[in-house]
């Protein structure tokens, strides 16, 4: 089985060599103030892990439950796909310093928080979703999250040849993650339940 950081580093290197930065799927989405959007949708910023309604608090409760029930190892791997400002993996790393807290986002190093979270042990990788979800290497993450991006496929600039990515994402989560935490629409949740999630 491939080690998660090595796996992501290899995908990032391949992406850079093939100049895949142009594969960004949400070019109209502003990246300047992601926490204003989080506040609008959730009612609390991701900075506030102490607030039980915040996304980091909810994620950490789920990880606590997984650890308590011994469903993941103490030195677990945590990956946030389309991690944005990377505050969620940062909170996870602060709470469990021995974990591998990882993030994938094509905007790596374009946000001020990226420097802070990387200085504190979070590893970020610039990998297009087209490359991540197409890859079939033998790797397994303990916990994988994907939030607004997962529920926002309809607002992505998917070309006809990229529509496969929606189903490929679910297959990737099924085989590359022990546990997955998603933000999904009602229709997506119904479909996932029908598929046995």
Check which CATH number belongs to the domain holding 27 and give it. Answer: 3.40.50
Cα–Cα distances in angstroms (integers) from residue 82 to residues 3, 51, 71, 110, 194, in the given order:
20, 23, 25, 13, 25
Domain count of the chain? 1
Instruction: Yes or no: say if 90 and 116 are a contact pair by the CB < 8 Å rule.
Output: yes
Backbone angles phi, psi at 49, to 5 degrees: -65, -15
Tens of pLDDT, residue by residue over 72-119, are 999 999 999 989 899 999 999 999 999 999 999 988 988 889 999 999
Helix (H, G, I), strand (E, B) or coil at 92: helix
Contacts of 142 (CB under 8 A, 6+ apart): 66, 72, 73, 76, 77, 78, 177, 178, 179
Cα–Cα distances in angstroms (integers) from residue 154 to residues 37, 62, 80, 159, 165, in the given order:
18, 28, 20, 12, 12
Number of neighbours of residue 110 by Cβ within 10 angstroms = 12
Mean pLDDT (the chain) is 84
pLDDT at 190 over 90: no
Q: Report the pLDDT value the prediction gives residue 161, as an integer from 0 to 100.
A: 72
Q: Report the pLDDT value the prediction gives residue 22, as an integer from 0 to 100.
A: 55
Per the structure, the complete domain to which residue 10 belongs is given by: 4-194
Cα–Cα distances in angstroms (integers) from residue 81 to residues 105, 123, 147, 150, in the given order:
7, 12, 8, 9
The highest-confidence range among 28-32, 66-70, 150-154, 156-160, by mean pLDDT, is 66-70
Distance CA(25)–CA(37), nearest Å, equals 18
Q: What is the DSSP letter of 161?
A: G
How large is the average pLDDT for residues 48-61? 93
């Amino acid at each position: 089985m491939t080690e998660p950081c090595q796996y992501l580093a290899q995908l990032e290197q391949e992406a850079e060599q093939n100049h895949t930065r142009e594969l960004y799927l949400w070019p109209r989405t502003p990246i300047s103030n992601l926490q204003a959007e989080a506040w609008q949708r959730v009612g609390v910023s991701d900075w506030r892990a102490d607030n039980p309604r915040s996304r980091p608090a909810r994620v950490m409760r789920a990880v606590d439950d997984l650890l308590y029930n011994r469903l993941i190892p103490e030195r677990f791997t945590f990956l946030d796909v389309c991690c944005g400002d990377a505050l969620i993996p940062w909170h996870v790393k602060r709470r469990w310093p021995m974990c591998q807290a990882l993030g994938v986002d094509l905007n790596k190093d374009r946000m001020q928080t990226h420097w802070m979270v990387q200085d504190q042990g979070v590893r970020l990788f610039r990998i297009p979703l087209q490359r991540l979800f197409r890859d079939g290497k033998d790797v397994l993450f303990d916990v994988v999250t994907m939030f607004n991006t997962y529920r926002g496929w309809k607002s992505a600039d998917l070309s006809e040849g990229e529509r496969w990515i929606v189903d490929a994402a679910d297959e990737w989560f099924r085989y590359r993650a022990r546990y997955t935490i998603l933000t999904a629409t009602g229709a997506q949740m119904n479909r996932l339940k029908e598929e046995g999630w």
